[in-house]
Amino acid sequence: MPLITEKLITLKNAWMASHVTDAEFPTPLSELGLHLYQLAHSELSTQIIDSIISPSESSLTFYPVDCHPLTIRYALVYSSYWQQEDQQQAIVEYLTQIMFEAETKAQLYVGFYNGKPAATGMIYTDINDDKKISLVSDIHALPLPNQTQLMQNMEQFLLHTAQQTSATVILQK
């Protein structure tokens, strides 16, 4: 894995962990959720996206997560990645701890399908050699009959969004 990719993933994972590790009194359930999240993400692969992706017509409406109600919706959708209900509860507990600062490097997104939250994704952006680099990750959709299409729509949207401002875009999935 190129050094730039490894650095970006490390920074994103540290940011994601900080919402529990920096908490004064983290709950055991949020700590379990962090562990499950880290375990799942240790198995993902990455690729640098070289060509510009033009998003196709999407069945999703995209919203940046900028308030706690959208954080909850993000957590509920993303937790469906795990099959067991106790693991889903731990992920929801963990992800709902996310706090956004004004200058955060991460932007979470929720995609709504027919007016309901159905897909998630994240763009984590940093600076390397005075150029923006972005990591697109955490793409998931509810287990609906069109789950694959929803995930593709979210991926295309995130890649297109990241490519508007970043010199390098890396996809993690």
Tokens, residue 111: 């995609």
pLDDT digits (tens, 9 = 90+) for 92-129: 999 999 987 778 899 999 999 999 999 999 999 999 88
> For domain 3-172, is the CATH number 3.40.630?
yes
- Helix 68-79 with 85-95: angle, nearest 10 deg: 150
pTM: 0.95
pLDDT digits (tens, 9 = 90+) for 43-92: 999 999 988 767 778 999 999 999 999 999 999 999 999 999 999 999 99
For 89, phi then psi, to 5°, come to -65, -40
List the beta strands (DSSP E) in 50-105.
60-64
pLDDT at 101: 78
Burial 39-63 (b: 16+ CB within 10 A, else e): eeeeeeebeebeeebebeebebebb
pLDDT at 50: 86
CB 90 within 8 A of CB 27: no
CB 159 within 8 A of CB 125: no
Determine the residue type at 143. P
List the one residue out of 20, 11, 161, 8 whose CA is nearest residue 90.
20
